[in-house]
Amino acid sequence: MEPILELEEVWAAYPGGRGAALKGASLSLSPQELGLLVGPNGAGKTTILEVLLGFVPYRGRARTFGLEVRAHRAEVRKRIGYLPQELFFPPDAPCRTLDLVLMGRFGQLRPWQRLPREERKRALSALERFGLAERADWPIGHLSGGQQRKALLARAMAKGAEILLLDEPFASLDPQARLDLAQAILDLKDEGLTILAVVHEEELLARADRAFLVREGKTQPLPQKVRLAEIWAEVQPCGR
Amino acid sequence: MWALILPSLLSALLSGATSGLLGSCALRLRLSALGYAMAHAAFAGAALAFWLGLPPLVLSFLFALAVAALLGPVADYTGLPADAVLAILFPLTMALGFLFIALSPSQALTSPALTLFWGSLLGVGWSDVLVLGAVLAASAGFLILFRREVWATLVERRLAEEAGIPAKPILWALLFLIGATVVGSLRLVGGLLIYALLFLPASAASQLTLELRQQFFLAPALGALSGLTGFGLSFWADLPVGTSIALTACGLFLLFSFLSPRRKLRLEEAHRA
């Protein structure tokens, strides 16, 4: 099957950053697969997601849906849902839950175009799916961390995303919220979404189709049925 | 007499309204340090124009925008965080402003030179009113037409970009309008105090409501109120107009902070905890 998401010898550096964050990273994911990126902090995991979204300039080939990201940023972003790392809205964030979900579609509307009613219905049903319909009018910052993550998943659903990029989705969540969120992510995989997630936890590992160790800007495919403890045992002696 | 003070009165109204409107964006984007540096860069540009005997509008605008444009490249080149770069640019532009005024010794302490520091009722002309009117119209038009895009950029820039919204051009357009507001207000309020008008009405509005849409109405109203009240104070009590406007804006902020439902909520939460 043709990969839906592919990096080939990708080098990337942040403007003004000290050196390259990616040094020839390669990976690919077929449609409906769950891929995981594991590795120490600062290894380049987030950069891989940001390259796929066209946030970071790169050399090499980065393709999603068969399109080179650097040449088709707008088109690619329309079809990707993204959970940024450590994004928690403060209580005074000027945004309601429903508005956050609707925001995912704003880029596809002309400035003078009114928001179609179907969009609102679609957003509400996405929130309902994650048990947040009753909190649609709540300020997003008044939701718990796990609920905020689910609202971002609902946003990706309402947007019609075909690929989900999740950057440490379980960070700062309690064990129960982690389990709930993992189940929500796996349900989305079962419905046919392709998911690439940066994780430090075991929750998704058992169901992953592929896993990659990211270290010093390079990627290395990991064997299936690997446990994170084994990966860390391999990584730690190299020391970072 | 009205013919003499009418441009100042209208400038106070327009400057307050525009500053309030754009100040809400700047506050949300946490650009207070940038606004501060831009205001003082505009002061330096006007001082240079004063020294060279040129009209101040263009040079102060270029200086203000140059600060915004330099921020990213200088931060990248030096590897310093943006606020550290602004901490360098701020004294640099202030020092340049003082230097340019000092270099024109025959005029250094004349009324037009001092106007650049703390503004003047009589230093304002119809050209300033026109600039401020145009900036207010452009700002309001921009915020109405691109309301969704601006809102998304203000809420979370990465999510806005992921949604396909051109967050960077939106940010640049806002900076351009802020620069134009600073420049248009310079002669009335002065380079040292324009910052107050840009942030205090927006801060006062943010004390009353979390809704950005409501802040976009409330902040310009409070800015216009600060401008007009400050103007009145200056006129009747013979005080410097920039000082009067800044003090009025401070007073409104303190009043609304005291009345703030957000503050009461925080106190209740602390009490419960």
Set of chain A residues whose Cβ sits within 8 Å of the Cβ of B211: 94
pLDDT at residue B53, as a whole number: 83
The residue among A192, A183, A108, A182 whose CA lies nearest residue A157 is A192
Mean local confidence (pLDDT), B120-141: 87
Specify the pairing of strand A80-83 against strand A67-68: unpaired
Nearest CA distance, A69 vs chain B (angstrom): 13
Mean local confidence (pLDDT), B85-93: 86
Q: Give the C-alpha separation, B14 to B226, whole Å.
A: 11
Q: Sheet harboring A22-29: ordered strands across?
A: A22-29, A5-12, A58-64, A67-68
In the block, tokens 């509307």 appear at: A109
Give the helix/strand (H/E) hosting B90.
helix B82-102
Which of B76, B155, B262 lies nearest to residue A95, judging by beta carbons? B155
- Between the alpha carbon of residue B82 and those of residues B24, B27, B74, B176, B192, the distances in Å are 20, 16, 9, 18, 22
Contact A103 B76 (CB under 8 A): no
Q: Give the C-alpha separation, A48 to A35, whole Å.
A: 12
Contact (Cβ atoms closer than 8 angstroms) between residue A141 and residue A147: no
| Beta-carbon pairs below 8 A across chains A and B | 75
Contact B215 A94 (CB under 8 A): yes
Long-range contacts of B168-176 (CB under 8 A, 24+ apart): B170/B146, B171/B29, B172/B68, B173/B142, B174/B22, B174/B25, B174/B26, B174/B29, B174/B150, B175/B31, B175/B34, B175/B38, B175/B65, B175/B68, B176/B65
pLDDT at residue A170, as a whole number: 87
pLDDT at residue A235, as a whole number: 62
Is the alpha carbon torsion for B139, B140, B146, B148 positive or negative? positive
Does position B140 have pLDDT exceeding 70, yes or no? yes
Give the helix/strand (H/E) hosting A154.
helix A145-159
B226-241 residue pLDDT tens? 999 999 998 889 888 8
Contact A16 B161 (CB under 8 A): no
Length of chain A counted residue by residue: 240
Set of chain B residues whose Cβ sits within 8 Å of the Cβ of A92: 210, 262
Contact (Cβ atoms closer than 8 angstroms) between residue A189 and residue A209: no
Specify the pairing of strand A34-38 against strand A194-198: parallel
Question: Considering chain B, what percentage of its residues have pLDDT values greater than 70?
Answer: 90
**Residue B131 vs residue B191, higher pLDDT:** B131
- Between the alpha carbon of residue B146 and those of residues B139, B152, B161, the distances in Å are 10, 10, 14
A7: alpha, beta or left, given left = phi > 0 and alpha = psi -120 to 50? beta
Nearest CA distance, A15 vs chain B (angstrom): 6
**Residue A108 corresponds to which amino acid?**
Q
**Residue A107 vs residue B108, higher pLDDT:** A107
Set of chain A residues whose Cβ sits within 8 Å of the Cβ of B156: 84, 87, 89, 95
- Between the alpha carbon of residue B24 and those of residues A15, A146, A209, B21, B63, the distances in Å are 29, 30, 47, 6, 23
What is the band of B47 on the pLDDT scale with cuts at 50, 70, 90?
A: confident
pLDDT at residue A41, as a whole number: 86
pLDDT per residue, tens digit, chain A (240 aa), is 789 999 999 999 886 666 788 999 999 999 999 999 998 888 899 999 999 999 999 999 999 999 999 999 988 998 999 999 878 888 878 889 999 999 988 888 888 888 888 989 999 999 998 889 999 999 898 898 889 999 999 999 999 899 999 998 888 788 888 888 889 899 999 989 999 999 887 778 878 899 999 999 999 998 766 666 666 666 655 444
Specify the pairing of strand A34-38 against strand A210-215: parallel
- Between the alpha carbon of residue A64 and those of residues A2, A34, A113, B113, B163, the distances in Å are 11, 15, 29, 59, 16
In the block, tokens 């119209």 appear at: B137
Q: Give the C-alpha separation, A50 to B79, whole Å.
A: 21
pLDDT at residue A239, as a whole number: 42
Set of chain A residues whose Cβ sits within 8 Å of the Cβ of B149: 106, 111
pLDDT at residue A238, as a whole number: 47
Does position B270 have pLDDT exceeding 50, yes or no? yes
Cβ within 8 Å of residue B213, ≥6 positions away? none
pLDDT at residue B255, as a whole number: 92
Mean local confidence (pLDDT), B176-203: 84
Specify the pairing of strand A194-198 against strand A163-167: parallel
